[in-house]
Structure 1
Amino acid sequence: MSKSLVKAIGLLDYFKIKQNLSLVELAQLTGMPKTTIYRLVNSLEEAGLLIKDRNSQHDVQYRLGIKLLELGKLVEKQLTYKNIALPFMKRLNDELEELVHLTIIEGDEAVYIETIGSKKHIRLVVKVGERAPLYAGSAPKLLLSSKTDEEIYEYFKRVPLNKRTPNTIDNEKEIMKEIYNIREEGYSISRSESFKDTIGFSAPIYDFTGKIVAALGVSTVLTTFEKEKQDLILEKVQSTAEKISYELGYNRID
């Protein structure tokens, strides 16, 4: 992380002391030159992290921007999903002894916000905070399927469909076939699309509005996967995702 970025983010902490601060006050509090403060504050203002207080009677003052509230709500939402899902994820992990993960969309990527590792000797590891493109892997593709067709085609314009493994589907038409199938079946399966020698199973988690807000997934190493367990894993993943959805206030109407 660049020193300028660290300094800029550090400035935000001083707004815990006082709601509104001027450039002079920030310079006094930090011990940094006023020219440096001016440059850092300008960058934070451009990013929406600070805004000018138009009601200030004296020197121009700044306060925390609405962007921080948006980011805070996103973090709060993630924590809510994690807190509700975690007990169910632990039970699923105990039952299947495989890697269990919870994934959400952030921008054009899928982000793993919670993982519980496999209990087996040969194990697949996915870290919390790890990101993946939405077009590859069971959980990312399930999340992509929650978007409208129009949104997905706009996504294709923005994001290059690079192959992560030989099995990665990098053709828009083929990806859309997968998307339609996921919507119809209500779950997603992928084989070595995002990581080599893996198989993943994911099911949607809905909130009280009926919107897909996360994907619950189970992944394992393909070479040790027992094919006869596929139906059991799918049933467990889907039923667990449904329980989490109900905890979020979802009421399914067929």
Structure 2
Amino acid sequence: MNNKNKTVVRSMDILNLFIEHSELSFQEIITLSGMPKTSVYRMLGTMEEMGFLEKGSDAKYRLGLLFLKFGHLVSSRLDIRKAAFPFMNALHQETEEAINLIIREGHETIYIEKIDTYQKVRLYTAIGRRSPLYAGACPRAILSFLPDTEIDAYLDTVELKPIAKGTITDKDKLYDMIRQARIEGCTVSHSELENYTSAVAAPIYNNVGDVIAGISIAGIEANYEGEKVDVLKKKVKDAAYEISKQLGYLH
């Protein structure tokens, strides 16, 4: 790897810190990145100059407006996001819980949209965040409705690592949950990606009937018990079906 490539990779390492942190000081960036002070200083200056980062009056760095331009370009090309947003918004208005939209990327999922105006507690999920297919209601809503051969191939190669106290790490139990999801048409999780949070989710299909995304309702675990969960299951399944129809799904 030549010096230019190293600089690009290190710059991306710094930018990736802002997926989980809305703002960071110079020292926090050094600590989190593990890079030398002089290298961080040089790269921050360049990224600020190019508009990738901006430095506030409080001396903390934040993502620059350039990302809004890129973000809008990417979002406008994601038909799934366009199709889903009105239904996500309606679901959020009804439930006042966080609504998430994810797509699959290999053995992972990535959150591409989230609405949480009424959700006062910040959850694990955030746009751009990744999760393994096996963990959490929304990722598992995709995994559960893949062809059997894909599920088997995935579970033969993946290591089921614990993320939170409720993460499913037993393969037999995971298969049981997949079978249950197929019966109910949705998934439920408790403390799988973050302790004391829960979610209910359903798969979204394209025009040829392939599962391509998942939508979830998520919030504090104490609110996801008894009859309320049944109500949320129906709501998320209805929303997922309407989004699928927008994408040409005719089942």
- Offset of residue 157 of structure 1: 3.2
Q: Secondary structure at the match of 1:220?
A: strand
Q: Which residue of 2 aligns with 1:107?
A: 106
Q: Which residue of 2 aligns with 1:240?
A: 239
Distance 1:3 1:84, change over 3 A: farther
Q: Which residue of 2 aligns with 1:119?
A: 118
> Within 2, Cα distance between the matches of 1:6 and 1:250?
45
Q: Which residue of 1 aligns with 2:5?
A: 5
Q: Which residue of 1 aligns with 2:189?
A: 190
Q: What is the identity percentage for the equivalent residue pairs of Structure 1 and Structure 2?
A: 35
Aligned length: 186
> Within 2, Cα distance between the matches of 1:235 and 1:98?
15
User: Does residue 232 of structure 2 align to residue 217 of structure 1?
Assistant: no
Matches within 5 A, 1:1-254: 4-5=4-5, 79-225=78-224, 227-252=226-251
Instruction: Please report the TM-score for the alignment, with normalisation by the length of structure 1.
Output: 0.67
> Within 1, Cα distance between the matches of 2:185 and 2:134?
17
Give the partner amino acid of 2:242: K
Give the partner amino acid of 1:5: N
Q: Check the 8 A contact 1:117/1:124 in 2, yes or no.
A: no
- Offset of residue 224 of structure 1: 4.4
Q: Secondary structure at the match of 1:189?
A: strand
- Offset of residue 6 of structure 1: 7.8
> Within 1, Cα distance between the matches of 2:110 and 2:238?
22
Instruction: Please report the TM-score for the alignment, with normalisation by the length of structure 2.
Output: 0.67
- Offset of residue 196 of structure 1: 0.8
Distance 1:105 1:248, change over 3 A: same
Q: Check the 8 A contact 2:191/2:197 in 1, yes or no.
A: yes
Give the partner amino acid of 1:155: Y
Q: Check the 8 A contact 1:89/1:116 in 2, yes or no.
A: yes
Q: Check the 8 A contact 1:78/1:113 in 2, yes or no.
A: no
| Structure 2: stretches of 5+ with no match in the other structure | 10-73
Q: Secondary structure at the match of 2:78?
A: helix
Q: Check the 8 A contact 2:146/2:211 in 1, yes or no.
A: no
Q: Check the 8 A contact 1:205/1:214 in 2, yes or no.
A: yes
> Within 2, Cα distance between the matches of 1:78 and 1:189?
30
Q: Secondary structure at the match of 1:216?
A: strand
| Structure 1: stretches of 5+ with no match in the other structure | 10-74
Distance 1:206 1:115, change over 3 A: same
- Offset of residue 8 of structure 1: 7.7
Distance 1:137 1:8, change over 3 A: closer
> Within 2, Cα distance between the matches of 1:77 and 1:183?
32
Whose radius of gyration is greater, 1 or 2? Answer: 1
> Within 2, Cα distance between the matches of 1:133 and 1:158?
12
Q: Which residue of 1 aligns with 2:41?
A: none
Distance 1:3 1:76, change over 3 A: farther
Q: Which residue of 2 aligns with 1:27?
A: none
Residues 68-127 of structure 1: per-residue CA shift (max 9 Å, x gap): xxxxxxx68961100111111111111111000011110100111111115143342521
Tell me the C-alpha RMSD between the 2 structures.
Answer: 2.4
